[in-house]
Structure 1
Amino acid sequence: MSSPHRFSRWLPLIPGLLAGVFTLAFAAWLLQSRDEASSQRSTLLEQDLLWQKQAIEQQITFDVQSLNGLAATLNVTDVNTAIFEARVQSLIQTSPEIASFSVQDGKGTVLWHAATQNNWSVPYEGRGGWSDINTSHGEPKVTYAVLTPDRKRYVVAVFALDTLLQQQVPWWIAQRYQISLLDAQDHPLAAKFQRQLDTTGLSHTILLTAPPLALKLKGDLYAGSVTATGDILPALMLVLAIAMLASTAALNRMIRVRAQAEERLKAEVAFRHAVDTSLVSGMIAFDRRGRIIYTNRAFGEMVGYSAQELREVRPPMPYWPPEEIERCQATYDAIIAGHNEPAGFMVRLMRRNGERFDVRIHASRLVDGDGNHIGWMGSLHDVTEIRREREALQASHERFVAVLNGLDAAVAVTDAETGELLMSNLQFDRAFQLPDLRGRCCIVPLVLRRAEPPVDAEWYDTYRDHWYQVKSRQSTWVDGSAVWLEIASDITALKSGAERERQQTEALQQTGRLISMGEMASSLAHELNQPLGAIASYVSGCRNLLGSPEPNLPQLGQALDKMGEQAKRAGHIIRGIREFVQRRAPRRQRCDINTLLDTVLGLLGHEIVRRGVEISIAQHEGMPPIFADAVMLEQVLFNLIKNALEAMDTTPQDKRTLAIGLLRDEGVLRVTISDRGTGISPAQREQLFKPFYSTKDTGMGIGLNICRSIIEHHHGRMWVEENPGGGTRFIFTVPFPGVEEVIAEQEM
């Protein structure tokens, strides 16, 4: 076996051997120094008191180091975390002399307090370190405060001096001496003593070198401790052995506490390393001379340089773009000078491969565990994508505003509750003369709003004499609030155009009537000649009867009656012509389609006879009356029948037939006029109802357009079809009167 190994085997025995040698030497010294007992007791008292001083100072030093360590962790650990609370509870259990533990601000406000037996929380308004002795609550105590790294909070611990003495003075010392703590004026603060024993007057006082300052440790020898040398020696040996065991146990305890502290420190370091590794923000630290002393993993990935490559580097930094050196240097100088921007610094950096990227830097002072300023710490956030998205969003917003301002319609968005105008386009501001710098304002809704169904209404601006088509919709704004979207389109021109179109339609209808009147002048002359000729004949007959010697009065009366009927017939013809060509607004009333048809056929009777056309009429029985303008419908029937007669000019005489159908079809009157003419091609049928389009060489092309307008004005339809037997048939419908028409007729 080697010599070092043999020595290590005997190494644990050395303290015991030394203790035995010391005990024997001490006993021999006592036997040989009976006459010097008083001196020996005094020396022993001093030695024991020095030992006790060392034990108290070691415990205070340990507590102070533990408090400093707890305060240093608050830059990465919050007071409400389980780790911090566990460390505090462990310290309080290990050191019972700490009667209270709290975290306070600089004004003495308690931010966090640990649950202890006494539950003391002394407000602290100092600058750190030990406070004066406080004797409130019946027990002397002293406060120790440590400033946290953020310079805003204090870790405050209250030490109970009596508990400190009770815990640190072992029983064998307490049996021999009365141990007391004195202040600077030698006033007793705390003591540990045996009530049944009296002191001998032999005492010794020693100043504690460890804080709290100006405390003294005093030991008074008990009278029962002064015995014969034979009695003292065994007791002293026993006490010495126990003291060695106690000190060894205390030493082992301190070693265990230190080991636990080291384990917690390792866990804290591992935790900080895990946090540092998981960060996506780059971290960089400079010393007070501006040299890089630390970079984390995320920063290295940002710039492409390792922590070893950047350590001790000074400006210009390798990750500064050449074109941004001045700006980066200015930011660096501002950070080193301690200028802190609340929103951070925006700079552009360069990766190792030359790629540029934008970052936002937030900087703060870097302090050590003692609160000393040792440099600066900066956190960098890559905002390249955020800036790109923001620029894209801004461009999209500008495009949206450009499109919105390019609209002819006025667009506005208002808050559904307050009526505040949230957004409007340029056309809205111009239309309603809103100033550019108007600030927040509310507007009055253009139309009455409702959610369902959405509002589509017309609104007239009496101030500017404009008509608007308003569409009002309820929607949701970007912040989730309810808003109203209103789109107002200026339809003044459309309204004016519609009015002009109505006037032109009436003019065309009037022109059509006049043209139709001119075309049927010969027919009208023939119709008027018949009653006028009959009247002339009856007048001649009356003269002849009156010239006879005995006039036949009954026969004369019949002739006069016939003359009156023919005169009435001529008057009806003239009145119908006048109403037909008279320009007036439509006047609806109940009328019989058969009466209208008879009137038109009577007007065209001469043409029908001259052209040799056979008329056939088919209708349902019990045909109800219709609610329409009789003169307008007569014009439609006149134009359609006249066109049908003219379409059969080239048709053989025996095939010239005109069929008129009057049918009741689900609430409407369906009128069909069919001829046997040459027909109309599909291409011509598509253009047939357009204004100024005509299939006749002498036609003006407005008759059918007017006819369709009249039918649509009566809420009906008109179309043209091919006649299955050859020729063409025109069809139109007119609704039978409903409830509204009946009410309107009753009001007339």
Structure 2
Amino acid sequence: MPLIAMVIGLAAGLAVWVVLDQIQSRQVNRIFDQELRDQLDLQARESLIRFDRYLASYGMTTRLLANHRRLAEYLEPLFWSKEGAAAPLVYQEFRPYWLPDFFARDALRPPSQVLLTDPQGRVRELYQAGTRPLPTELATRVPAQFLDPASVRTVPVKLGEGLYLLASDAVEDSAGYPMGFLVVLVPIDEAFLAASQRGMDPSRAAVALVEGDDQRILASADSANLVPGSTPNQWGDRYLMTSQSLPQYEGADDNLLFATFVTQGNVERMSRHVRIFEHRQRLFAAVVFILVFTWVIYLVSARLNRVLKRMTRFSQRALGIPEPGFHREGNQLLLLEEWIAHFTQLVLKAREEMNRRHQAEMRESEALKAAVMEAALDSIVTLDHHGHIIEVNPAAGRIFGIVRQEVIGAAFGERLLPEVARTAFRRLLDRSRHDGLEPAGRGELVALRGDGSEFPVEISIVPIDLESERFYTLYIHDITQRKQAEREIKSLARLASESPNPILRVSAAGQIAYANNASRPLLLAWGTEQGGALPAEWVAEVAEALGKGEPRERETTLGSQVYALLFAPFRDLGYVNIYARDITAVRRAEQASRKHQAELVHVSRLSTMGEVATGMAHELNQPLSAIVNYANGCTRRIQGGQGTPDDLLGALSQIASQAKRASEIIRRLRALVGKQPPIRADVDLNHLVREVCSFVEFETGKLSIQIELDLAAEPIPVHVDLVQIEQVLLNLVRNALDALEESPESERRFLIHTGVQGAEAVVAVRDSGPGVEPERLKRLFDPFFTTKEGGMGMGLPISQTILENHDGRIWAESEPGQGTIFHVTLPLAQSAADADPELPAHTASGISR
């Protein structure tokens, strides 16, 4: 009987295990399938959010391009006729100036075409990025449903046999006048969808766009496995699929679905591993159960066997029945009860273990979701169906400046939105509540921080249905920096038009492409307008600036105004910017300064002539005395009747000669003293030195000094103001005579040397006077510094100013007790420098130290 009991116990244990295994397997499968559906839904939502944000990036980039300074400046001079159908301007092999490459910078797929349309949607300009042809639906006009003057539109649309993302925004010129729309066309293909799902493992999941009517795949992120043109049902054996609509793109006529595919292989492997693990656990529990159950049955049967043996012995003693061959053992019913209790405990323990593991898995899943919430850079706020806050992530706390415990349970609109934004938020929430759209809506609102300050945000509402109640997840992005960047871009785009100085942009052919409002006086003076041509002389300046690639500055006088023009070339773009500045006040100030300087120079000449007046009077007295003598002699001869006509003619000739000499002396005096505007001419420097020496003949005779002239053998042509340079030389000669007056007569020596050094004429005036001390030598050219009693100290500073105006120099060398040398240099006249650019240097060794 024990052996039969063990066989029965083994069979009963197996039967119980099979039943429990089926029940537990179905329960585990149900839990696993539910978790799998949750993960698939989460993956689908995350994929759609990534796709939606990727499309929004194109919208933001399109807005940046539409508001860029280059495009505004380019549109400023354009005029598109409202009538007729002109062929659009096509850029095939190069990027137009008005289109910066923002797509590569923002890691976006480049567009296949970029269009400029007029306000009616007619295509005016087309940038063809590659070989993909422009869809025929957009060849001449962009449909009005894709254009919105008030906001950016991003619409996935099927054009011909291809699927495209069409992004558009209104464009304005620099003055803010609406000019039309900028339309960006991007093919939605495998590369586009893969770029929109960065961070997703392609071996585990893929996304695709499916046509809602005939359920055909239009584009997929894995075209090798999800072939465009096929239906999702064809891949049901390889993928788990869920699809979502794209209701927010209202401009599209196509019914597009966003599908997320999860690989069946990964799911089955995970499912198989979980089932194998659970099977092993249940098998272990079953072995233990069967062994225990068999052992219990065995004990029970053994106990029953003893009872039966007792009854057999009693019946044998009472009825004489023979004793069967049972062994004597313990009470098997009690043992069976004990083992049944033990078995029940084992079952309960196994169930508790399974529940514990399931709860641990649920906690891990919740921890993962919490980590995602914690690590998110954008604010995530969860609301109940009444709009009250039930959860916020740390990013929301940082952005809004709030404490989680203080806002839990509060109404989102009243707590975190100002009054002006609550109506718009309620419309978004009501739309989600009544229409059941997912995601329900996207928009820009003004939010409220904890300190009461307002800031702009972009908000997206995603409804979540859990059994009988609906919740809402708000994804909130702070767009303060983006709004500020948009304002800065618009401000920079209007910089040229708001400038108070004239700014023009001219093509290589001299065509005025742009001119701001401040340029109107220049355009009127030149007799042209924006879109017209520059005068011929300025066209040549533009061509020369572009040819050399260097900025050029010119001045022009237009009526009573003087303008400084800066030509800034941009050779790679083929145009020149002209920046003009009204310098009338500056030039008038310079003219007044030159007038005051001329007055000062004239005063200095008068002072110098006052010092040589005695000598000039003595020199003038000689020819006048000769005239008087000759006239008296002629009178006496005529009165005495002694003079012959030849004698009288000779005397009269002498009178005329002396009169001419006196007239020449007066002429030189008037030229030196007279007040006249500076007039430069080519003169011989040697002639100037000789004429100045004639002015001081009386002083040199009085001091018993003979001026030694070491002049160059050839004429030295210089282009100077004759009077001013004579004043400089006369001042140096007068200073040398004053210095020699203090020296003994036997040691007085005066030498003037002229020559040529390179492209400069040089004059050296040397005296053997007492010299100048080093401390005073440094200050010789300071105004009002003098070494003479009664001197004004202005002769040398004025001389230095005159020479600097002539691009010349003056300096002095002196040693106490050895005399002084003043050196003067002047540039040679241009004719002489051009004739012989390497003229030999003529120097006098007698003046070197």
Matches within 5 A, 1:466-485: 466-473=561-568
Contact 2:211 2:257 in 1 (8 A): yes
Contact 1:290 1:314 in 2 (8 A): no
Matches within 5 A, 1:648-667: 648-667=740-759
578, 582, 590: which is aligned to 2:667?
578
Query: Hey, what does 2:45 align to over in structure 1?
Result: 75
SS at match of 2:563: strand
1:646 shift after superposition: 3.2
SS at match of 2:377: coil
Query: Hey, what does 2:436 align to over in structure 1?
Result: none
Which blocks of at least 5 consecutive residues in structure 1 are unaligned? 18-62, 90-100, 125-144, 157-264, 435-440, 744-748
608, 615, 622: which is aligned to 2:706?
615
Matches within 5 A, 1:708-727: 708-727=800-819
Q: Is 1:360 equivalent to 2:438 in the alignment?
A: no
Q: Which amino acid counterpart does residue 609 of structure 1 have in structure 2?
A: G
473, 496, 500: which is aligned to 1:377?
473
Query: Hey, what does 1:643 align to over in structure 2?
Result: 735
Matches within 5 A, 1:295-314: 314=409
Q: Which amino acid counterpart does residue 581 of structure 1 have in structure 2?
A: R
Query: Hey, what does 2:430 align to over in structure 1?
Result: 337
448, 458, 462: which is aligned to 1:348?
448
Residues 112/688 of structure 1: CA separation in 2 closer, same or farther (3 Å cut) = closer
Q: Is 1:410 equivalent to 2:506 in the alignment?
A: no
Contact 1:363 1:376 in 2 (8 A): no
1:716 shift after superposition: 2.5
Matches within 5 A, 1:53-452: 74-77=44-47, 103-105=210-212, 111=218, 148=244, 279-290=376-387, 314-316=409-411, 320=415, 333=426, 336-338=429-431, 342-350=442-450, 360=457, 362-368=459-465, 374-381=470-477, 386=481, 390=484, 410=501, 412=503, 448-449=541-542, 450=545
SS at match of 1:659: strand
Contact 2:414 2:422 in 1 (8 A): no
Residues 376/650 of structure 1: CA separation in 2 closer, same or farther (3 Å cut) = same
Query: Hey, what does 1:46 align to over in structure 2?
Result: none
499, 511, 530: which is aligned to 2:591?
499
1:377 shift after superposition: 2.0
Identity of aligned residues (%): 21
Query: Hey, what does 2:825 align to over in structure 1?
Result: 733
1:655 shift after superposition: 3.9
Tell me which moved more, 725-734 or 266-275: 266-275
Instruction: Please give the alpha-carbon distance, in whole angstroms, between the structure 1 residues aligned to 2:742 and 2:383.
Output: 111
Residues 530/702 of structure 1: CA separation in 2 closer, same or farther (3 Å cut) = same
Which deviations, in whole Å up to 9, do the C-alpha atoms of 1:697-738 show, x marking residues without a partner? 655666545544554454422233435535544321234444
The structure with more radius of gyration: 1
Instruction: Please give the alpha-carbon distance, in whole angstroms, between the structure 1 residues aligned to 2:462 and 2:622.
Output: 122
Q: Which amino acid counterpart does residue 105 of structure 1 have in structure 2?
A: G
Residues 115/541 of structure 1: CA separation in 2 closer, same or farther (3 Å cut) = closer
Contact 1:513 1:581 in 2 (8 A): no
Q: Which amino acid counterpart does residue 410 of structure 1 have in structure 2?
A: N
SS at match of 1:338: helix
Matches within 5 A, 1:589-604: 589-591=682-684, 593=686, 595-604=687-696
Which deviations, in whole Å up to 9, do the C-alpha atoms of 1:485-509 show, x marking residues without a partner? 6654432233223334444555555
Query: Hey, what does 1:203 align to over in structure 2?
Result: none
Residues 104/617 of structure 1: CA separation in 2 closer, same or farther (3 Å cut) = same
Residues 68/511 of structure 1: CA separation in 2 closer, same or farther (3 Å cut) = closer
Instruction: Please give the alpha-carbon distance, in whole angstroms, between the structure 2 residues aligned to 1:394 and 1:306.
Output: 33
Residues 466/618 of structure 1: CA separation in 2 closer, same or farther (3 Å cut) = same
Instruction: Please give the alpha-carbon distance, in whole angstroms, between the structure 1 residues aligned to 2:798 and 2:429.
Output: 90
1:469 shift after superposition: 2.8
Task: Give the TM-score taking structure 1 as reference length.
Answer: 0.51
Residues 623/71 of structure 1: CA separation in 2 closer, same or farther (3 Å cut) = same
Instruction: Please give the alpha-carbon distance, in whole angstroms, between the structure 2 residues aligned to 1:507 and 1:567.
Output: 37
Q: Which amino acid counterpart does residue 345 of structure 1 have in structure 2?
A: L
1:578 shift after superposition: 0.7
Tell me which moved more, 540-549 or 732-741: 540-549
Instruction: Please give the alpha-carbon distance, in whole angstroms, between the structure 2 residues aligned to 1:334 and 1:564.
Output: 119
Instruction: Please give the alpha-carbon distance, in whole angstroms, between the structure 2 residues aligned to 1:524 and 1:310.
Output: 105
Q: Larger relative CO (CA 8 A, sep 6+): 1 or 2?
A: 2
1:605 shift after superposition: 1.8
Q: Is 1:672 equivalent to 2:781 in the alignment?
A: no
Which deviations, in whole Å up to 9, do the C-alpha atoms of 1:634-653 show, x marking residues without a partner? 44333322333234444444
Residues 9/567 of structure 1: CA separation in 2 closer, same or farther (3 Å cut) = farther
Task: Give the TM-score taking structure 2 as reference length.
Answer: 0.46
Contact 1:663 1:671 in 2 (8 A): yes
Which deviations, in whole Å up to 9, do the C-alpha atoms of 1:298-355 show, x marking residues without a partner? 6688789999x899x532579958xx787897787555433777433332355xxx99
Instruction: Please give the alpha-carbon distance, in whole angstroms, between the structure 1 residues aligned to 2:598 and 2:227.
Output: 106
1:581 shift after superposition: 1.5
1:466 shift after superposition: 1.4
Residues 383/5 of structure 1: CA separation in 2 closer, same or farther (3 Å cut) = farther
SS at match of 1:725: coil
1:575 shift after superposition: 1.7
How many equivalent pairs are there?
Answer: 529
Instruction: Please give the alpha-carbon distance, in whole angstroms, between the structure 2 residues aligned to 1:76 and 1:4.
Output: 58
Contact 2:561 2:582 in 1 (8 A): yes
Residues 562/510 of structure 1: CA separation in 2 closer, same or farther (3 Å cut) = farther
Which deviations, in whole Å up to 9, do the C-alpha atoms of 1:124-149 show, x marking residues without a partner? 9xxxxxxxxxxxxxxxxxxxx98747
Q: Which amino acid counterpart does residue 681 of structure 2 have in structure 1?
A: R
SS at match of 1:410: coil
Query: Hey, what does 1:625 align to over in structure 2?
Result: 716
Residues 272/706 of structure 1: CA separation in 2 closer, same or farther (3 Å cut) = closer
Instruction: Please give the alpha-carbon distance, in whole angstroms, between the structure 1 residues aligned to 2:456 and 2:797.
Output: 73
Residues 606/290 of structure 1: CA separation in 2 closer, same or farther (3 Å cut) = closer
SS at match of 2:45: coil
Which deviations, in whole Å up to 9, do the C-alpha atoms of 1:219-242 show, x marking residues without a partner? xxxxxxxxxxxxxxxxxxxxxxxx
Q: Which amino acid counterpart does residue 638 of structure 1 have in structure 2?
A: L
Contact 1:335 1:363 in 2 (8 A): no
SS at match of 1:600: helix
Residues 690/429 of structure 1: CA separation in 2 closer, same or farther (3 Å cut) = farther
SS at match of 1:337: helix
CA RMSD of aligned residues (A): 6.6
Instruction: Please give the alpha-carbon distance, in whole angstroms, between the structure 1 residues aligned to 2:760 and 2:774.
Output: 27
Residues 616/346 of structure 1: CA separation in 2 closer, same or farther (3 Å cut) = same
Query: Hey, what does 1:173 align to over in structure 2?
Result: none
Which blocks of at least 5 consecutive residues in structure 2 are unaligned? 20-32, 49-192, 234-240, 248-254, 260-361, 433-439, 525-529, 836-849
SS at match of 2:689: helix
Tell me which moved more, 326-335 or 541-550: 541-550
1:378 shift after superposition: 0.9
Query: Hey, what does 1:457 align to over in structure 2?
Result: 553
Q: Which amino acid counterpart does residue 337 of structure 1 have in structure 2?
A: D
Query: Hey, what does 1:262 align to over in structure 2?
Result: none
Contact 1:421 1:443 in 2 (8 A): no
